[in-house]
Structure 1
Amino acid sequence: MEGLSVAKADLTVYVHPSKANKVDQAVRRQLSSLLFTYNELFDGVILAHEFNFKSKHAKILPGLIPYFGVNVKAKLLVFSPRPDMLLEGKVVKLGKESIHVIVLGFCSAAIMMEDIRQEFKYKIKGGYGTFVSLAHKRHVIKAGSMIRFLVKR
């Protein structure tokens, strides 16, 4: 799928002195706090991380509580859709004027009526809304369908 990329980064993670004997756990927790949030530095949403320590040495920061900085090499899986990218998602809701889709299980998108191809018409079948193709009778978009769409903005 377009929009997914791997970013390699050299990071400095600051660890509280109480976690000095569990540095691996503290770094993992700090990196996990970045997951599923937009990060301007990577220009996308971080979905996963993997890291290695660059060295066994740490830099102590002066202050009231002397945190120490650990240098880490990280590989991050980043989701950053751009205009004209092709994405795939699962339809969760249909309305007369829109199709609501979940991409990668966490990101929502709405496809408005003006962006839906003209061959699709909204109909109610069995109490549920569907978009039915006028060109191909078996081509139906309903809740639970997987669709591909272009990112507009």
Structure 2
Amino acid sequence: MIKRLICLLCVMAIGIAQAKAEQGCPYASSVKYMDGHFQAESGSALWQSPNVGLSDFADRFVGALFTPGKGQERENGFLEKCVYRMGSGGVVALRYGVPGKLNTMSLTSTLYWQPTRDLLGQDVYICQDSQPDNCSFTVRRLN
């Protein structure tokens, strides 16, 4: 009986750990202007824009861009940016940053990521949805 209980707890812990690995772009309400950048924290990750030099507020989430490692492979690539429309009408992109080594990212199995090609002919996935959670991905770190 105790062995079954321990096995059940291990399975539950693995499921919880996998659920935490899935992430999405930050909500517009969590994007703040600090020290010349727009940024948001999500777990251990810091999302940050390039230096923009002027204060504004993120009005709404616009979408996200994922670049696969090869072809249209969803399991190995990198989330390039999450894009927000600002109160002044401008656009700002936040990039994912996490302490330590980052191995790869993969797209979760959602219908929101659509394959397309960018202006340079590179295969990319784009997510255009008003809910950042729908533009989800998984981070895999080197141990």
TM-score by length of 1: 0.29
Structure ranking higher in strand proportion: 1
TM-score by length of 2: 0.30
